[in-house]
Structures are given as C-alpha cells and as structure tokens.
Amino acid sequence: MVQGSSYICSLVQSLRSASFPSKLANYRGYTSRAASNSLRHPSTYSDDEYADVDWDKLGFGLTPTDYMYVMRCSKDDNFKEGRLSRYANIEISPSAGVLNYGQASTPFPLISPNISLQQKTEKRGGIYEGTKANRTEDGRILLFRPDQNATRMMHGAERMCMPSPSIQQFVDAVKETVIANKRWIPPPGKGSLYVRPLLAGTGPILGLAPAPEYTFLVYASPVRNYFKEGTAPLNLHIDEEFVRASPGGAGGVKTITNYAPVLKAIARAKDRGFSDVLYLDAVNRKYLEEVSSCNIFIVKGNRISTPAISGTILQGITRKSILEIARDHGYQVEERAIPVDDLGDADEVFCTGTAVGVAPVGSITHRKRRIEFKTEGSLVCKELYSTLVGLQTGRIEDKKGWTVEIH
C-alpha cells in the first residue's frame, strides 16, 4: 500500500491539449493481446545490461524506466487489446472522471469528530495496485503473487462501478511491462522493480456518473526502502482527530481516494518527528485499524495479532502472506479487533505492505504516552521477513506457488 495522491498530481502536471488516444498513437510501441502467452519485449538492450543507476543510493522515488503498458475500454465493454509504449506523459481531458471525482469527493471523508459517519458520497475515480519484480542470484526474474493484485483490482473495480481487466490480462500486462524494463530491475540485494498498475476513469464526464472510457496503465520504477529510516524501526503516532476510513465506505478498496485524505495527518506527524500515523476505528476510536500505507501487527509471546478485515481495512497481499508464513512457523495467528490498550502489553509491533515489506516499529505515541517495543535481538518480524524475502527472491524454494517466473 502506497500513497496514491501522487498519481493525480502527475496526471494534472502532464495535461496537454490533444486527446489521450492521439498521443498514444505517436508513441513508439507495439500492440499485443494482453492475454497472449507469447510475450516479447521491444527493448534493444541486451538481457544482461543494467540501466545507469547507482543501485547503492536507490530509495523509494520515481525513476522513469523505458516502457509502460496501456489498455482502454468503454464503460459498457471489456478490455481487449493493450499496448506497450515508451514511458512518457499522458494527455487527458480536463473533464476526465478521475480528475473531477477521483480526488474531489471520497466515499469515506477524513472524518473529524463533529461529522456524522453516515455522511458519505459515491464517486467514480481510480484504483491502483503495487507489486514487485525481483532478480534472483541465478539471474531469474520473479513476480510475487500478481494474481492476488489482479483479484483485488477486480474487487475494487466492482465497488467503484468500473470495468476491469481479467486476471490473465492483468498478469500478462505486468509481465510485459517487467520484461520491457528488465534492465531497470536492480541487482540481487539492491532493491526491486516496483510495478504500478492503474485503473482510471479517463473519459470526460461532468455530472457524478460512471466515466464513458477507462484506462488500464502499468508503469514501473526501481526502488529500495520505502521509509527514510531505511530498515531502522519506525516511530508511529496515533492521531485521534482524523480517521482513515468509515463503515459503509471503501476503506477496504485500493482506491486513490484512500490516500490523499491522510496526507494532512502524515505531514503533521512528520513535523513532530514521527515516521507515520496509526489510525483508530471511526466508530469507537479505540481499535487499531492500519497505518497510512501499510497494515499493522502486534506480537505477544507466540501470538501474532492483526486487525480483522471489516470493510475499512485494506486486504494487503503482504499481510495475507505474512499470516500464512507465521502459521507455517508455528505461531498462533489472530485476526481480531485490537484495542489500543493492547499496545501496552505487546512485545513487538511491525507493519507490512508491498512497498514497506516488513518494517519493525520502535515506538507508538498515544495521548503523549510513548510505548516502546523490542527492536533488537531475536525478532519475530525479522524471522517472518527473512522467509518472505527468501520466497520473493528465489533463495527459498516456493512450495506454495506464489512466485511467477518470467522470461
């Protein structure tokens, strides 16, 4: 889970006067069936050539790569053909649904205490996914559970009244994008190629209604650590003024409107020296939900707990994977409502997400009380993270069928 408001900003910055389709027609690319098993990349670079990147200084920022993938359809049609094009700005109508309703109205406003939870609006905006490609020590390229991203996008699209690519179209589009940008995949141990699939209502619409056209787009960027702390423990702050999501909204959908509303809370927390914000539930203001861009776990002895999915929490794919890995390691796993008071008894706390991986939490501050957790020695989160990364990078044999090798 990653902040999605930068997507809207980049779209706005890239507006031009021509139409979106006419711009794509000028790109150097080729058309292919998204569901085709015959994937060929147009790059002229050799398979063993790396891009000119200082991999040791790689962070989590946008590094433009060579190609992106684009596929479009009307609201009453299905996605059929996609196109690899040179990575470039796109052109879009000022009245595009994603620009007018993707960020302007949300189904779960960032709620202050004096706003009713029943006050919510419907919108047609955009949703996105995040997955990674990793290079193994023996030179293979692996994706991690891309079918889960595809399934989650289909679920989100249904909630947002949008058509979506099929699972096979989604996975094949990700494959094509990765293969075309192979030289941007960092060397083993130096990071990953972060792949960002987007689904947006790009057709023009003035009233609040489904857009007439939709665009599925995939681009990629080499990345390493998400937080500026790197692998150092995070220091979180519980903000009781704002909540991230409310019942009946779309907190469990990876829509772009989940992320812009939390920027104010994040900025305020960072001004106070914290890494990020941990949000409480909107009804009782006493149960843990999630961090701005990742899920939260607490550890007590042999028991690992995480907030149960209830419509306001995103079903993270890393979250799902860590739960299964923890069970395999013999831990007692719980998905339950976690009162904020339980933090005082926790041995460890950690966050999970595609971008963050598994990040240990050093402290959580609530009502001026700083609660500290174990961050040294034998840690549960390090044990689980080692297994996760081992599977993602091919160091551990994948007996679960989670990784997808691409050529």
Cα–Cα distance, 290 to 228 (Å, whole number): 19
Cα–Cα distance, 252 to 313 (Å, whole number): 5
pLDDT at 246: 87
pLDDT at 1: 47
Cα–Cα distance, 394 to 378 (Å, whole number): 24
Determine the distance from the C-alpha atom of residue 187 to the mean position of all C-alpha atoms in its chain, rounded to a whole number: 22
Regions of the chain with pLDDT less than 70: 1-48, 102-125, 230
Cα–Cα distance, 349 to 368 (Å, whole number): 18
Q: What DSSP line would sit under 120-178, residue for residue? A: ------EEE--EEEEE-TTS-EEEE-HHHHHHHHHHHHHHTT-----HHHHHHHHHHHH
Positive or negative: CA dihedral 219, 80, 26, 100 = negative
Alpha-carbon Rg of the chain, whole angstroms? 21
Q: How many CA atoms lie within 13 A of 335 on its CB side?
A: 13
Q: Read off the tokens for 93.
A: 């109508």
Dihedral class, residue 406 (left if φ above 0, else alpha if ψ from -120 to 50, else beta)? beta
pLDDT at 32: 39
pLDDT at 226: 83
Beta carbons of 347 and 318 less than 8 angstroms apart: no
Torsion angle in degrees (nearest 10) through CA of 27, 29, 35, 40: -160
Cα–Cα distance, 73 to 71 (Å, whole number): 7
Cα–Cα distance, 378 to 389 (Å, whole number): 17
**Residue of 80, 123, 254, 382 marked catalytic:** 254
Beta carbons of 352 and 297 less than 8 angstroms apart: yes
Q: What is the pTM of this model?
A: 0.84
Beta carbons of 274 and 332 less than 8 angstroms apart: no
Q: Pairing mode, if any, of strands 403-406 and 141-144?
A: antiparallel
Helix-strand-coil percent breakdown of the chain, rounded to 5?
Answer: 25, 25, 50
* Element of type H or E holding 216: strand 213-223
Is residue 254 annotated as a catalytic residue, yes or no? yes
pLDDT at 45: 56
pLDDT at 140: 96
Phi–psi pair at 95, nearest 5 degrees = -100, 15
Q: What is the maximum span of the chain, computed from C-alpha positions, in angstroms? A: 60
